Amino acid sequence: MKKSLLLALAVSSIFIGGCGDKAEKDANPTFMFLCFRKEIVSDEYPVPEMATPAAAAYLQNGLKNLPGYVDSSYNLADRTLTVRYKSSTIRKMNIEEAIALGGFTVNDRPANPKAKLPEGIKNIE
């Protein structure tokens, strides 16, 4: 009897706990781990070497080929790139890696030294 009660409590806590709120379920939901979760998420990436619109456009064009990429915007004053993506398809670290492989430092990931950047893209003011 104690084991079945414990099992029932464990199963019910899995169904109840960890699920997002109603607003998350209504906005592009996806079913993961017994819950509906937000499918399209947004993350901001600091890219200190992104000083020009050409650098931002270069990064955005590189990200368009990633599976799960939705769209992106940039802020040159703060040197940040905001990326919206499908959380069930790609993760934050994959986007960081794509930016670093493109030749730009992002968060704690150093830029790939072997990246071939077009002339004038990476100018730090």
Q: What is the pLDDT of residue 39?
A: 87
Q: Is the pLDDT of residue 70 over 80?
A: yes
- Span 10-49, pLDDT tens digits: 666 655 555 555 554 445 555 555 666 688 999 999 999 9
For residue 81, the enclosing domain spans: 39-101
DSSP label at 52? Answer: S
d(C-alpha 111, C-alpha 14), whole Å: 41
Distances (CA, A) of 124 to 8, 76, 105, 107: 59, 12, 12, 17
Do 79 and 92 lie in one domain? The reply is yes
pTM exceeding 0.95? no
Do 56 and 29 lie in one domain? The reply is no
- Span 87-117, pLDDT tens digits: 989 999 999 999 999 999 999 899 999 999 9
Do 23 and 43 lie in one domain? The reply is no
